[in-house]
Structure 1
Amino acid sequence: MSKDETKLSLTTKIFIGMIAGIVIGVLLQVGNYLIGDLDFNIFSMTFSTYGFFVEGIFHAGGKIFVNALKMLVVPLVFVSLVCGTSSLSDPSKLGRLGGKSIALYMLTTFVAVTFAMASALLFKPGVGFTPPPSTAEFVPKESPGFVQVIIDMVPSNPISAMAEGQMIPIIVFAILFGISMTHAGEAGKRLTSFFNDVNEVIMKIVTIVMNFAPYGVFCLLAKLAAEVDSSAIFAIINYFVNVLFVLILHAVIVYPLLLKIITGLNPLILLSKMKEVAMFAFSSASSSATLPLTIATARQKLGVSRSVSSFTLPLGATINMDGTAIMQGIATVFIAQAYNVDLSTIDLLMVVLTATLASIGAAGVPGVGLILLALVLQQVNLPVEGIALIIGIDRLLDMTRTVVNVTGDSTIATIVAKTEGELDEEIYHDRTLANKKSVIE
């Protein structure tokens, strides 16, 4: 067996870090309860066992990982949005085809995050959960009024907005910057090439940071397990079930209904032909990595024309992050409930708006959802450290929401193709193609 075959995947490493962190944290808490804190000496200095690990190593390791996530928020969203907007704003693409695709993607994302937050407010997964003492004293800032929110969407100083992590103004400025690049001639083309290169570098930084995720997860969960009571386990399970329920609901109810209402096509055919794509998306947790297979399946099994699939599906892999929006909506409400913070109507609207707009800049690679969650939490003045409450189980949810994302991409592509007369319905209705392996061109 080769070295590559025996190498553990990032998913496996994160699961190992999660389990190890919980076990070590529980053992420290039980040991501290049964036999009390023990002291030991290092270099003539006395340390307590519990304090050295929980408040020292685990606290520092977890904090560094959270800071690394926060570090990437502004550059990732700004550069990704500039690249995405400059591409979408190409005059040759901003016709009827682009308008339909963008409108449908934004509609499904808006519905996704709205349903997610409604579910979290209804089932209250974070109620009764006691946060760790180190962050339980969090005091939220007072939310601005609705008029001020609208005014603040346009930054008076974009550099200041970036320094302070004000995401809505950053998103607005990035979109304007990207659109302007397409109308700036040769200068715009040079800048587009530059930002595409910068985007590649930032994605590499994301990969590097996520490679440290197993250690960050270990430290965060070890500290969490050492400090919280048993109510945390039930609260996290409640959160997991809540997210999974809304993801499944969105994939098997919302998308099929949208397809049936607009086109009249049988959505069960589409879902059956998406099996191969869904399995690959689940294993890779990356809609970008799945894109070649998604395009091949749309053309060969769903009958979507080359012109529609080559535009709509890459666009969807860039801006259609319904699964991520669902996670962000539920996670935000969960963390607010855990910290006993009452989100105002304005806060809830800001979460919907931020999650919807941020999906435009959400690169289709594993782990980006957590970074975007950090920006949503910052936007409504919730502690980013709350990510520690859900990060351990996020990898499995990340794999599931990638399936939702690629299913949404294919559904929208089929709808656009049908309404544009670019769908081969003979291919679409051929059920024998459901079990045929797609050939990536």
Structure 2
Amino acid sequence: MVQRLKAYRFPLILLSSIIIGIFIGLLFGEKADVIRPLGDLFLNLLFMVVVPLVFFSISSAIANMDSMKRLGKIMGTMLTVFIITGILASIIMLVAVVLFPPAQGANIPLEDPETVEKLSLADQLVATFTVSDFVDILSRKNMLALIVFAILTGVATGLSGERGQAFAKFLNSASEVFMKLIQLIMYYAPIGLGAYFASLIGTIGPQILGDYARAFLIYFPVSVLYFFIGFTLYAFLAGGKQGVIRFWKHILSPAATALATGSSVGTLPINLEAARRIGIPKDIRETILPIGAQIHMDGSCLSAILKIAFVFGVFNMDFTGFDTFLTAIGIALLSGTVMSGIPGGGFMGELMIITMYGLPPAALPIISAIGVVVDAPATMVNATGDTVASMLVTRHLEGKDWITNQENL
């Protein structure tokens, strides 16, 4: 029993700091925002290291693969898992909003949004996957471009054969160094997360109690149930009972970080460490988690369905029918797995909701506000969903005994 408590010691410390932060936020209200810099410091430390970590982890994982055929299997299985889990998340929220309409009792004044610049999808896609100058790739604002560059670097290193071995060793060494740096940063996590939660509750608490209370009260339990029940099921499918134990033993730190910071990218360093402790092979975790932080958003699929149902209720539109539901699931899937990785993708997803259903422009600020209210639990589901997805990919590639095999390495 004592050994088990020791294994969960750090997650329990994190949870305790979060609870203390929540009480501080409730007690002092907006005054609690004075300690927000302590939380910002933690978040900045994570963002500071995320760009080199993503580059070295992906490129080293690919460079050290036995063959490019394995990379293809990882990517193909990854996309399949992302799409299936996104559809399941959308269906679950769809059932919830049909049973409990989120806009009931809401009284929101409709205002026309500010004039927005028309976005060219082609230009957005070019800007998403490439940059015009190398220095621009050294920014978390261009993460998908960085991922593409890291993949190509890893492939080129692998194809260089013997002459590329020295560079492959450098990439692998750098990846290990940055993972160690994350462990050092995590010593500060209890203070940073506690301060962030105190500020969060102190500043947005009144907003949650306003017109969007019902939407939040629907989203929060659904996301929590999906987090506990859905991810437990995924972990069981991936590794049986041992998979469930491993997942819950190591996922609390990334979950707490995502909940506090509202950033999947910011959570990525801690997520990679958790995946390593779970036993997910290096090439799988260091390929899937960085990509998943950009294009795998089960929490965003949940919130997209909620946004659609909410705005339907505000405009007294009938949210029923197979075609309506199918369109809603399709939009949610695009928002959670495709547009989430495009710069301004959240905004484009909201514009798509308005366009697909022929809603007036006044619906835009309403939908945007929903995103703000549910951002924290959505990010928690987004980030931790990448970890369990990598477990499912490992199960498919390595077989049902992958956890046992990892222990014997």
TM-score scaled by length of structure 1? 0.57
8 Å CA contact 1:13–1:214 kept in 2: the answer is yes
8 Å CA contact 2:59–2:171 kept in 1: the answer is yes
Between the aligned partners of 1:170 and 1:272, the Cα distance in structure 2 is 29
8 Å CA contact 2:22–2:197 kept in 1: the answer is yes
Amino acid at match of 1:22: I
Deviates more, 1:149-158 or 1:406-415: 406-415
Quote the residue 2:352 is aligned against.
none
Between the aligned partners of 1:330 and 1:354, the Cα distance in structure 2 is 14
SS in 2 for 1:165: helix
SS in 1 for 2:132: coil
Q: Does 1:169 align with 2:145?
A: yes
SS in 2 for 1:156: coil
Structure 1 residues 60 and 140 mapped into 2: Cα distance closer, same or farther (>3 Å)? farther
Quote the residue 2:120 is aligned against.
145
Quote the residue 2:391 is aligned against.
406
Structure 1 residues 347 and 219 mapped into 2: Cα distance closer, same or farther (>3 Å)? same
CA RMSD of aligned residues (A): 5.2
Structure 1 residues 376 and 155 mapped into 2: Cα distance closer, same or farther (>3 Å)? closer
Quote the residue 1:276 is aligned against.
242
Between the aligned partners of 2:201 and 2:391, the Cα distance in structure 1 is 35
Structure 1 residues 218 and 100 mapped into 2: Cα distance closer, same or farther (>3 Å)? closer
Quote the residue 2:54 is aligned against.
77
Q: Does 1:179 align with 2:149?
A: no
Q: Does 1:390 align with 2:364?
A: no
Shift of 1:242: 1.9
Between the aligned partners of 1:236 and 1:281, the Cα distance in structure 2 is 27
Q: Does 1:288 align with 2:257?
A: no
Shift of 1:11: 0.7
Quote the residue 1:352 is aligned against.
337
Shift of 1:148: 0.7
Structure 1 residues 377 and 163 mapped into 2: Cα distance closer, same or farther (>3 Å)? closer
**Larger gyration radius, structure 1 or structure 2:** 1
SS in 2 for 1:390: helix
Between the aligned partners of 2:407 and 2:172, the Cα distance in structure 1 is 29
Amino acid at match of 2:15: F
8 Å CA contact 1:158–1:170 kept in 2: the answer is no
Structure 1 residues 209 and 115 mapped into 2: Cα distance closer, same or farther (>3 Å)? farther
Quote the residue 2:198 is aligned against.
222
Deviations 1:253-301 (Å, cap 9, x if unpaired)? x89xxxxxxxxxxxxxx8597112321232133332232xx7xxxxxxx
Shift of 1:163: 3.6
Quote the residue 2:358 is aligned against.
none
Q: Does 1:62 align with 2:39?
A: yes
Between the aligned partners of 1:281 and 1:187, the Cα distance in structure 2 is 39
SS in 2 for 1:406: helix
Q: Does 1:204 align with 2:173?
A: no
Quote the residue 2:80 is aligned against.
107
Identical counterparts, % of pairs: 20
Quote the residue 2:362 is aligned against.
none
Shift of 1:392: 12
Between the aligned partners of 1:403 and 1:318, the Cα distance in structure 2 is 14
Residues 19-30 of structure 1 aligned to structure 2 (within 5 Å): 19-29=19-29
Shift of 1:16: 0.7
Quote the residue 1:428 is aligned against.
none
Shift of 1:18: 1.0
Between the aligned partners of 2:226 and 2:190, the Cα distance in structure 1 is 26
8 Å CA contact 1:220–1:388 kept in 2: the answer is no
Between the aligned partners of 2:175 and 2:406, the Cα distance in structure 1 is 30
Between the aligned partners of 1:106 and 1:281, the Cα distance in structure 2 is 21
Amino acid at match of 1:26: L
Unaligned runs of 5+ in 1: 30-49, 129-138, 256-269, 295-312, 356-374, 418-435
SS in 2 for 1:155: coil
Deviations 1:372-421 (Å, cap 9, x if unpaired)? xxx888765799x97996379949x84x8755643442244339x9xxxx
As a proportion of its length, which structure holds more helix? 2
SS in 1 for 2:68: coil
SS in 1 for 2:41: helix
Structure 1 residues 121 and 222 mapped into 2: Cα distance closer, same or farther (>3 Å)? farther
Which residue, out of 79, 94, 112, partners 2:68? 94
Unaligned runs of 5+ in 2: 104-113, 252-273, 312-329, 348-367
Shift of 1:87: 2.5
Deviations 1:112-140 (Å, cap 9, x if unpaired)? 34544676688689x88xxxxxxxxxx99
8 Å CA contact 2:87–2:333 kept in 1: the answer is no
Shift of 1:61: 1.2
Deviations 1:294-332 (Å, cap 9, x if unpaired)? 7xxxxxxxxxxxxxxxxxx55444445599789844158
How many residues are paired up? 327
Between the aligned partners of 1:241 and 1:223, the Cα distance in structure 2 is 24
8 Å CA contact 2:18–2:194 kept in 1: the answer is yes
Deviations 1:220-275 (Å, cap 9, x if unpaired)? 111122222253987378336325427744774x89xxxxxxxxxxxxxx859711
